[in-house]
Amino acid sequence: MRPARRPWTLQRRLIVTIAAIVSLILILVGVATSAILGSVLERSLDSQVEATANRAAIWIRPLIGSGATAADILEEQAPQPGFLLVVGDPVTGETTAAATDDGGKVVELSDDQITELVDRLDTAGPAVSALDGVGTYRLANVPASPAIVVVGISRTAVATTIGEMLLTIALLTLGGLLLLAVATAWTVRAGLAPLRSVAETARRVAAVPLDQGEVSIRDRVPDDEADPRTEIGQVGQALNTLLDHVSTSLTARQRNEERMRSFVADASHELRTPLASIRGYSELSLRALERGHDDGAVHTAEASLERIQSQSLRMTSLVEDLLLLARLDEGQELVYGTVDLSQLVVESLGDAQAAGPDHHWETDVDEDPIVVAGDARRLHQVMTNLLGNARIHTPAGTTVRVSIERQGTHAVVRVHDDGPGIDPAVADELFERFSRADRSRARNTGGTGLGLSIARAIVAAHGGTLAVTSAPGDTTFEMRLPVRPEDPAGVSTR
């Protein structure tokens, strides 16, 4: 099987294509120039031949009929080199011809050459005749009737001029092509340098293991080779943007994996504690029952069962949170209906006030109720979470203010407190799953880091947003939900 031909590089294709096109243009220009110059020189030579024939008539007529041959006439007159003369004597009927070479020496022509000259003669204008060993001449009749008189001038000068011009054009074309090839190679190589840098960067990145562990892609196309003002620079810039996105995604993946591991450890700890408690209280209940049915044993068994129930509820709450997130991801779980958001805020604030009497609770609610279409139970869960965070993560005496207002097509609920604020180190990841805000505010109990992620998922499922701004003494959670203008009775459920 014939091996596949090695493909040409882009640089080679560009150089060969440019050189071929330019060489073709130069050849066509050279041929056209030579043709035009040759035509001009031929016309000039025709004019010169005719003028010479007119001048020769003056000194040839007196010699006709004297028996002088063409060679005798040329020897006597000593004309310019490259001159040809044909004389036909009307008395004897003999035709003679002679020519002067480049050195001015007279050479007589043979009968065959004379016959060829006479046959080539065109009385309508100058003729061209090539004589072996003598050269090519431009011929013209001399008005010396009844004799035959023809003069000619050599075309050597014309041919030499055209030959020199063609040689000059060929040399200049060859030199120009060499210079063009070098300049093109340098230009193309310099122009493709950013593309080679892109390829080299891609090769380095391809060699980095990305399947596991902490991955950091630091290789980038240099800024001077990723100029968006050029086409190849745009490729470099696009590769840098792609690498930035990939690096960000890998960093997020690594962060999520670390949080997942942390969550698994936390969840394992959260589940291990109630499971250990359940096991211990179960054993205690069995031992109490083995001792008999006295009041002490019954009391111990009842207390153990209560602790078992408490720990079971704790595990159930964790599992339900995970299940809720999974269902929200699938677009399930919400049951839409008409929700009086103003009333929901007031009720949630009352619950928080009862749970946190050591805080100062304030509310700012418009007289006109703000109604949205949503899941009342889940929105109440969001408010409970936000108010619970404000209560748990701030010290006693903190003022928590809840406000609700309508802005255009959205209802805006804000939960503000003047506590110590959120640690900037975790502010950007506060709403992410498995994120714990223990460092942001003082809290006495650990959590799984699902509360705010569940709250944001619920709000997002309602087509809204949940955001936070924080500074020491000024922390505000803002929930924005779309207000639907249609009749609440007509709101569809799913």
10 Å Cβ neighbour count for 258?
12
pLDDT of residue 479: 93
Q: Parallel, antiparallel, or unpaired: how do β-strands 360-365 and 399-407 relate?
A: parallel
pLDDT of residue 125: 52
Q: Which tokens belong to 124?
A: 């309508």
The residue whose two tokens read 């065109």 is 122
State the fold for domain 337-490.
Heat Shock Protein 90 (3.30.565)
Tens digits of residue pLDDT in 74-88: 777 656 677 777 777
For the residues 90-115, what does the mean pLDDT come to?
72
Tens digits of residue pLDDT in 367-385: 888 889 888 888 998 999 8
CATH of domain 10-164: 3.30.450
Q: Which residues of 82-119 are buried (b: 16+ CB within 10 A; e: fewer)?
A: bbbbbbbbeeeeebbbbbbeeeeebeebeeebbebbbe
**Stretch (H or E) spanning 158:** helix 156-206
User: For the chain, what are the domain ranges?
Assistant: 10-164, 208-332, 337-490
Tens digits of residue pLDDT in 255-270: 777 767 776 676 666 6
pTM attached to this predicted model: 0.45
User: Which band of pLDDT confidence, cut at 50, 70 and 90, is reported for residue 148?
Assistant: low
pLDDT of residue 442: 37
Same fold, 10-164 and 337-490: no
Assess whether pLDDT exceeds 90 at residue 412: yes
Higher pLDDT, residue 394 or 283: 394
Q: Yes or no: say if 138 and 45 are a contact pair by the CB < 8 Å rule.
A: yes
Q: Lowest mean pLDDT of 155-169, 434-448, 451-465, name the range.
A: 434-448
Q: Lowest mean pLDDT of 121-135, 394-408, 474-488, name the range.
A: 121-135
Amino acid at 282: S
CA–CA distance, 79 with 116 (Å, rounded to integer) = 23
Coil vs helix vs strand at 131: strand
User: Which band of pLDDT confidence, cut at 50, 70 and 90, is reported for residue 102?
Assistant: low
Tens digits of residue pLDDT in 104-134: 677 777 777 777 776 666 545 556 666 665 6
pLDDT of residue 92: 64
- Is residue 261 packed enough to be buried (19+ CB in 10 Å), middle (13-18) or exposed (0-12)? exposed
Tens digits of residue pLDDT in 208-263: 776 666 667 777 777 766 667 777 777 777 877 887 788 877 777 777 777 677 76
Task: Compute and round to an integer the Cα radius of gyration of the chain.
Answer: 54
Average pLDDT, the chain: 75
